[in-house]
């Protein structure tokens, strides 16, 4: 695959999100308990997608002054390097799994993608290989995937592998037809869902506006997951986040996704004070 084609898929990932400024909420935490009483603070999990291809903004994001979650595409030139660095810096690493969208060309997906025409066996093999390709991964989310995350057969196979590895799934919510709340509840896989896309438009004013939506959301909710990207908007997103984080720290605790999830067994044994 050429650099040009790789550049295409990262652009599309963000463009696909353009109609989802604030995503519908609900059913997203079926098996995941959210910590809500950490010193009365609200919790924000920043997730940055599309690492693994030395994309624009990668160093700036890695240096953000809080721990966050680094979603790394498998089988790309800096997949291993980005995952290793993120882990070393104390960030969470998850597999950013390429999945077929309703609209879009196959080459936008990147290597190793899951499509709805594949057999169960092929899907299982690809998910296993992707997990092996991303060191330190503790979870998975979808790159694109508006078609795949609405497909029960395909997602059942994906989630069975995720479960076998003791991982959680973050639904990027690229479709309102997602089957993830239903299937993760059935299979017992911890699920988190994206609530705010930060950078579907590549301007500082738009990203700042999305931070405002996030802060507004936290007035009525204990926690929020927000997704940004390296690639075309990467430097802008990193710079707006860096400027916004200090002002949010008095009321907000920044966590990684694994910190946001409390396993139900642990919750039963250790009650919150
Ligand atoms: Zn992506």
Q: Write the pLDDT tens digit of every residue in 71-104.
A: 999 999 999 999 999 999 999 999 999 999 999 8
CA of 267 from ligand 1 middle (Å) equals 32
Exposure string of 159-192, with b = 16+ CB inside 10 Å and e = fewer, is: bbbbbeeebbbbbbbbbeebbbbebbeebebbbb
Opening angle at CA 242, ends 25 and 5, nearest 5:
70
Nearest CA among 204, 182, 206, 154 for reference residue 17: 206
**pLDDT at residue 190 in the model:** 97
- Tell me what pLDDT residue 263 has: 54
What pLDDT, in 10s, does the model give residues 119-137? 999 999 999 999 999 999 9
Using CA atoms, how far apart are residues 198 and 214, in angstroms rounded to an integer? 9
pTM, entire model: 0.84
Query: In angstroms, what is the span from residue 174 Cα to ligand 1's centroid?
Result: 10
Integer Cα distance of 183 and 180 in angstroms: 5
Q: How far is the CA of 47 from the centre of ligand 1 (A)?
A: 11
- Read off the pLDDT band of 257 (50, 70, 90): very high
Instruction: Give the pLDDT of residue 41.
Output: 80
Q: What is the pLDDT of residues 29-61, one digit of tens each?
A: 433 344 444 444 899 999 999 999 999 999 999
CA of 265 relative to ligand 1 center, distance in Å = 32
Contact between residue 224 and residue 257 where contact means Cβ atoms under 8 Å apart: no
Instruction: Please check the confidence at residue 201 and state whether its pLDDT lies above 50.
Output: yes
Q: Say if CB 122 and CB 91 are below 8 A apart.
A: no
By the CB criterion, residues less than 5 angstroms from ion ligand 1 are 13, 49-50, 143
Contact between residue 156 and residue 180 where contact means Cβ atoms under 8 Å apart: no
pLDDT, averaged across the chain? 86
For ligand 1, the distance from its centroid to the CA atom of residue 143, given in whole angstroms, is 4
How many angstroms is it from 49 CA to the middle of ligand 1?
5
* Predicted pLDDT of residue 15: 34
HSE-CB of 212 using CA atoms within 13 angstroms: 6
Residue 14 banded pLDDT, cuts 50, 70, 90: very low
Query: ∠116-47-148 over CA atoms, to 5°?
Result: 10
Ligand 1 centroid to residue 39 C-alpha, Å = 33
pLDDT in tens, 106-121: 777 989 999 999 999 9
pLDDT tens profile 141-197: 999 999 999 999 999 999 999 999 999 999 999 999 999 999 999 999 999 999 999
What is the predicted pLDDT for the residue at 20?
A: 37
């Amino acid at each position: 695959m050429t650099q040009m084609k790789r550049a295409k898929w990262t652009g599309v990932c963000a463009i696909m999100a353009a109609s989802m400024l604030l995503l519908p909420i609900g059913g997203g935490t079926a098996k995941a308990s959210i910590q809500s009483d950490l010193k009365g603070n609200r919790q924000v999990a920043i997730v940055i997608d599309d690492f693994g291809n030395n994309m624009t903004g990668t160093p700036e994001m890695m240096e953000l002054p809080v721990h966050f979650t680094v979603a790394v595409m498998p089988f790309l030139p800096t997949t291993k390097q980005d995952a290793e660095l993120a882990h070393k810096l104390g960030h969470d690493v998850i597999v950013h799994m390429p999945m077929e969208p309703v609209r879009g060309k196959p080459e936008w997906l990147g290597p190793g993608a899951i499509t709805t025409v594949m057999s169960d066996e092929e899907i299982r093999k690809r998910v296993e290989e992707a997990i092996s390709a991303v060191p330190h991964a503790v979870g998975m989310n979808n790159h694109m995937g508006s078609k795949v995350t609405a497909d029960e057969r395909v997602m059942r196979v994906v989630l069975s592998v995720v479960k076998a590895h003791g991982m959680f799934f973050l639904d990027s919510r690229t479709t309102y037809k997602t089957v993830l709340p239903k299937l993760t509840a059935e299979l017992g896989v911890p699920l988190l869902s994206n609530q705010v896309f930060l950078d579907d438009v590549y301007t500082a004013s738009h990203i700042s506006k999305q931070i405002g939506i996030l802060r507004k959301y936290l007035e009525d909710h204990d926690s929020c997951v927000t997704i940004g990207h390296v690639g075309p908007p990467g430097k802008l997103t990193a710079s707006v986040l860096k400027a916004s984080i200090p002002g949010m720290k008095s009321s907000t605790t920044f966590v990684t996704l694994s910190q946001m999830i409390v396993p139900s067994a642990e919750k039963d044994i250790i009650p919150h004070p």
